Structure 1
């Protein structure tokens, strides 16, 4: 009987345990506005065709910023941009090219189109995971 409860507790704990994903944002050139970050689970239309699991924004106060997410172990992707003018959206030039600095996990640099989820996939295990994203 004791063994049954011990195993059940172990299984419950392993499925509900959370860890941290720490995102350090580098190369912030303008000291105004906010860094807006979306954390995504695997989805086909990443990043524009699916909703982020969690979104955060932090005020810019220097050349770097840190955002911490509490997550369950698994695969995630991060998309972020520096909302320099604070209007709540990523401003774009002609043909949809971003006007404001942006970045993706794995420091993926898109060429002709946006990234796929697999380009930005980050595996989070049971221990804390730290990643760094350099704004483009």
Structure 2
């Protein structure tokens, strides 16, 4: 019995004949950083179910050294959306005013500007194909 289980575990853990999907470089350029304090948080989403309030597929905290910051993600080709905010006071969260209106600068891919509610994935969606792609997001305060 032990030999059978060992053989099965080797068989199941063997490498697949399917090639792994090719990764692409997604560069995110966040512009219009007002002050060199705090940090910029970048959240990358691959699903409309979690965008923009849920858990991102990957997130980054970027130190500020000028009027813009950049980061690069390695992703499989597909559709994505990005949400960004500048945590100016360094408390690790997006500070909000009454009715949930952000106090700190924020932005979304496609430079989508929501009016009365949070954006939908389709509003901010962009496609990454093979190779590389750069997405520029301008921070704004409203």
- TM-score, normalisation: structure 2: 0.84
5+ residue gaps in structure 2? 1-15
Please state if 1:51 is matched with 2:55: yes
Residue correspondences, number: 125
Asked if the contact 1:76/1:122 (under 8 Å) is kept, the reply is: yes
2:5 maps to none
1:127 maps to 131
Asked if the contact 2:50/2:56 (under 8 Å) is kept, the reply is: no
Q: Deviations 1:38-70 (Å, cap 9, x if unpaired)?
A: 00012234211x310001011111101001111
Please state if 1:87 is matched with 2:91: yes
SS at 2:110 equivalent: helix
Asked if the contact 1:45/1:116 (under 8 Å) is kept, the reply is: no
Question: Please, which of 18, 21, 39 is the counterpart of residue 16 of structure 1?
Answer: 21
Structure with larger Rg: 2
**1:34 Cα offset (Å):** 0.5
2:45 maps to 40
- TM-score, normalisation: structure 1: 0.87
